[in-house]
Structure 1
Amino acid sequence: GVRRSLRPIVWKYQLRYWPVGCNLQTRRRIDLAKTQEYMRLKQKWIAWIPFLRVNEDDPAVEASASEDAHADSSQAPTPEQLSKLRDAWTRIEKDITRTDMDLPFYNGQGNADTRPGSAASAPSPIPQCPRTCPRVAKGSNTEKLRDVLLTYVLSVEGDDAAQGYVQGMNDLMSPLLQVFNGDEVATFWCYTEFMRRTHNNFRVDGKGMSLHLEILHDLFHYADPGFMAHLDALQAGHLFFCYRWLLVWFKREFSSRAVQSIWEVLWTDYGTKDLLYFFALAIVTEHRDAIVRHLLNFEEVLKYINDLS
């Protein structure tokens, strides 16, 4: 993989934040334009917050009387927009408090230092959401994860707009926020490009993941038809034990550092745009003998594969 100090720069090129070959002046101009656009997108849903009613019994997401009094009716969202914000807010806040909380970046030890005089306490041009949650510290990296996810879900267009937030999207964003050290702008735009590649994983009808498994099945059958026949005999030929790998790009199978290295290799599309499948094939092939000799059914295969992480 790339040296840790270079990773934020390399990822911006890999995820098309900057075009390859641009000079410093061009990069600065792009940075400014992307910052302004991100601020606009985030400010749009922040203006809807005073109109939000999620759960009357939950003070974390309930607008206060003072917020209601100062609500700007000119920025009032449509019922559809408000419903989408309510749904996304509820789902995202449930997930982010369980996202990578074993890492110092999120669990407080390496979180944003908001003490007076610290860099994180300095004024930021990025608009801040006025609503907080008891489980999410103000100014924390967890809060930034929530805000960038909300901005993405509420600004995406086309078919992806209808599906809203789906569990697993947080897993794909978290490493980006870590690499960019809490930079919401870089995280948002690089995540948008990453989702361009992976958005079908989160289709409500499941067709995206079904296609992944079909392609992987064909690759397994081509590479090792005897092993594929054995998996079929174990009722494991559907390869559901690889589902999580393909859904979130092995995010839950390896350490944070390892995932970062794996992703930047997969993004190269070196030799093929299907590196993800070959990586999955390589892992299973490494454990081929153990599966053939010792496992008797799909449940045992699933447990064995899950225990690898």
Structure 2
Amino acid sequence: MSSKKERDLERIRMREEYEKLRRQCEFLQSEQDNDETSSEVIDCSVEEKRLGSEQDNALAESAEEVGRSSESVFIESENIDEKDSKVLEPFPTGNNSQRTDEVSSDCESIVEDDSVMVKYSVSDEDEHRESEACLDGESTDEYNLFPVKSSVTVNDGQTVNDGQTQDRKSSDNEVKFDRIESLKERGPKALEDFSTWQRIIRLDAVRMNAEWIPYSPSQANVSEEEASVLGCHVGLKNDEHLEPSRKHHAARLVAILETYALYDYDIGYCQGMSDLLSPFVALMDDDYEAFWCFVHFMRIARDNFRLDESGIRRQLDIVAKIIKAKDPQLYKHLQKLQAEDCFFVYRMVVVLFRRELTFEQTLCLWEVIWANQAAIRAGIGKAAWKKGKQRAPPTSDLLLYAIAASVLQKRKLIIEKYTGMDDILRECNNMAGHLDIWKLLDDAHALVAALHNKI
């Protein structure tokens, strides 16, 4: 059993580790913004040169045409009588002046066009410098996005300063970007993958719904200014339509998700992770706490996001075995529909029922799952279960039993009306918001009690 002092020191260490990862993410984002701005300026310069060249060619052709016309008229004037020469003067003074004004006007328009292009490039550079300033943390202390407590009071009355574990200034100057170096060692594709993840994370973050708001009053009342500053800091885009609370929530999702992608590059980021992280962000005001909770949570869920889908296929196979053992008739019908692989519950497995359940229901289910896992770690296995009065022994696959239970609840509809896997998939997607979490858990525990020796 750790003491309060040890827990406080560990909390400081984990906060500093998270902040170190965040600085590396910000560095990579800054480099990406530099590349994008440089590309925009180069494209602008090329377009400027092309337009200028086209206008120069047009002026040259115009001047050449004027010259040819003047020469032609002058030759004709030599072959006429002196009497009529005044009538065929090539260009009266007034016309020459007008022509000069036209050429001058064209030149001025080119200069004006060039000035517009130059202003465009400078504006881009200014905007980028502002973005860099935001990313580099050049903001007031009032909006310090990753506040570090100057001290922590421990149980014996002493104060543990951050300086006792790490000098902040030397830390900022001597941070070893070990994760970035690791990415570079993997080759250019690794950096490209991380950049792609960053863009997808920002898109997914702004799409998150607001059902968490009633459960987090402090974050729901965040100001527009604070939300905008945080959004700017993490490079959030296309968030103008969001109210401050959702913008602030999205910015925190971005910060934590891209930090996780850097922390666990082998998994990186996949769509669906934002669904899993959102409850942690809503319930925890400190990003570093939400991050480390998410890290531990992903130790179980990370196999769901492997590219080879081996973790998903293993779990779908268990769901199929549960259905086959409990209801052979339903399983035969699934075989007839070529749906015995249970691919129709794919989404339920990937995001742990997050999209089928409400925010509160999700927390209920996850907490029961965690309680089962904690019981297993504590050694409360089948032997202890037999001596007790529990209906079902703890299992690490409770989620899969719950998924199978949700399908079994629709068995009559599936057998009598559905003629293809698309029909079943549509029914599973329509379960969202219509499930009774307590009945679902009762049915799941009943399945565990009946089948835990067979699966």
TM-score normalized with structure 1 length: 0.76
**Structure with bigger gyration radius:** 2
Secondary structure class of the residue paired with 2:199: helix
Counterpart Cα distance in 2 of 1:178 and 1:100: 12
Conserved? CA contact 1:52–1:63, under 8 Å: no
Q: How many residues align?
A: 273
Gaps of 5+ in 2: 41-122, 137-172, 376-393, 433-455
Q: Which amino acid aligns with 2:270?
A: V
Q: Which amino acid aligns with 1:242?
A: V
2:271 is the counterpart of 1:171:
no
2:408 is the counterpart of 1:299:
no
Counterpart Cα distance in 2 of 1:143 and 1:48: 17
Bigger RCO (CA 8 Å, 6+ sep):
1
Conserved? CA contact 1:104–1:110, under 8 Å: yes
The 1:285/1:221 distance shift into structure 2, 3 A limit, reads: same
Conserved? CA contact 1:34–1:185, under 8 Å: yes
Question: Corresponding residue for 2:348?
Answer: 245
Counterpart Cα distance in 1 of 2:18 and 2:328: 49
Task: Identify, as 1 or 2, the structure richer in helix.
Answer: 2
Q: Which amino acid aligns with 1:280?
A: I
2:288 is the counterpart of 1:185:
yes
Question: Corresponding residue for 2:323?
Answer: 220
Secondary structure class of the residue paired with 2:308: coil
Question: Corresponding residue for 2:360?
Answer: 257
Conserved? CA contact 2:234–2:254, under 8 Å: no
The 1:23/1:300 distance shift into structure 2, 3 A limit, reads: same
Q: Which amino acid aligns with 1:28?
A: D
Question: Corresponding residue for 1:290?
Answer: 413
Counterpart Cα distance in 2 of 1:35 and 1:90: 25
Bigger Cα displacement from structure 2, 215-224 vs 238-247:
215-224
Counterpart among 141, 151, 175 of residue 249 in structure 2 = 141
Counterpart Cα distance in 2 of 1:290 and 1:223: 17
Per-residue deviation at 1:167?
0.6
Secondary structure class of the residue paired with 1:140: helix
Q: Which amino acid aligns with 1:166?
A: C
Conserved? CA contact 1:45–1:154, under 8 Å: yes
Counterpart Cα distance in 1 of 2:361 and 2:127: 41
Question: Corresponding residue for 2:92?
Answer: none
Report percent identity of matched pairs: 25
Question: Corresponding residue for 2:260?
Answer: 152
Q: Can you list the C-alpha shifts for 1:102-135, whole angstroms capped at 9, x where unaligned?
A: 54379x995352478xxx79xxxx9x93634241
Secondary structure class of the residue paired with 1:219: helix
Question: Corresponding residue for 1:89?
Answer: 198
Q: Which amino acid aligns with 2:199?
A: T
Conserved? CA contact 2:337–2:419, under 8 Å: yes
Per-residue deviation at 1:81?
6.1
Counterpart Cα distance in 2 of 1:255 and 1:300: 23
Conserved? CA contact 1:51–1:68, under 8 Å: no
Gaps of 5+ in 1: 1-20
Counterpart Cα distance in 2 of 1:264 and 1:55: 44
Q: Which amino acid aligns with 1:94?
A: L
Counterpart Cα distance in 2 of 1:68 and 1:30: 32
Counterpart Cα distance in 2 of 1:93 and 1:183: 20
Per-residue deviation at 1:296?
2.4
User: For the aligned residues, what is the CA RMSD?
Assistant: 3.6
Q: Can you list the C-alpha shifts for 1:183-213, whole angstroms capped at 9, x where unaligned?
A: 2111110110111101111111222211111
Counterpart Cα distance in 2 of 1:240 and 1:55: 40
Conserved? CA contact 2:194–2:268, under 8 Å: no
The 1:199/1:115 distance shift into structure 2, 3 A limit, reads: closer
Counterpart Cα distance in 2 of 1:111 and 1:296: 45
Q: Can you list the C-alpha shifts for 1:252-286, whole angstroms capped at 9, x where unaligned?
A: 00110110111111122251111111111211122
Q: Can you list the C-alpha shifts for 1:123-180, whole angstroms capped at 9, x where unaligned?
A: xxx9x93634241769712101100001110122xxxx23421111111111111122
Per-residue deviation at 1:98?
0.9
Question: Corresponding residue for 2:398?
Answer: 275
Bigger Cα displacement from structure 2, 75-84 vs 293-302:
75-84
TM-score normalized with structure 2 length: 0.53
Secondary structure class of the residue paired with 1:47: helix
The 1:80/1:284 distance shift into structure 2, 3 A limit, reads: closer
Question: Corresponding residue for 1:14?
Answer: none
Counterpart Cα distance in 1 of 2:234 and 2:275: 25
Question: Corresponding residue for 1:129?
Answer: 233
Secondary structure class of the residue paired with 1:48: helix
Q: Which amino acid aligns with 1:90?
A: R
Conserved? CA contact 1:47–1:75, under 8 Å: no
The 1:220/1:142 distance shift into structure 2, 3 A limit, reads: same
Question: Corresponding residue for 1:15?
Answer: none
Q: Can you list the C-alpha shifts for 1:12-49, whole angstroms capped at 9, x where unaligned?
A: xxxxxxxxx54433332222221111111111221333
Conserved? CA contact 1:168–1:248, under 8 Å: yes
Counterpart Cα distance in 1 of 2:27 and 2:131: 11
The 1:105/1:39 distance shift into structure 2, 3 A limit, reads: farther
Q: Can you list the C-alpha shifts for 1:73-115, whole angstroms capped at 9, x where unaligned?
A: x989545664344222111011111122454379x99535247
2:309 is the counterpart of 1:200:
no
The 1:294/1:27 distance shift into structure 2, 3 A limit, reads: same
Counterpart Cα distance in 1 of 2:275 and 2:191: 25
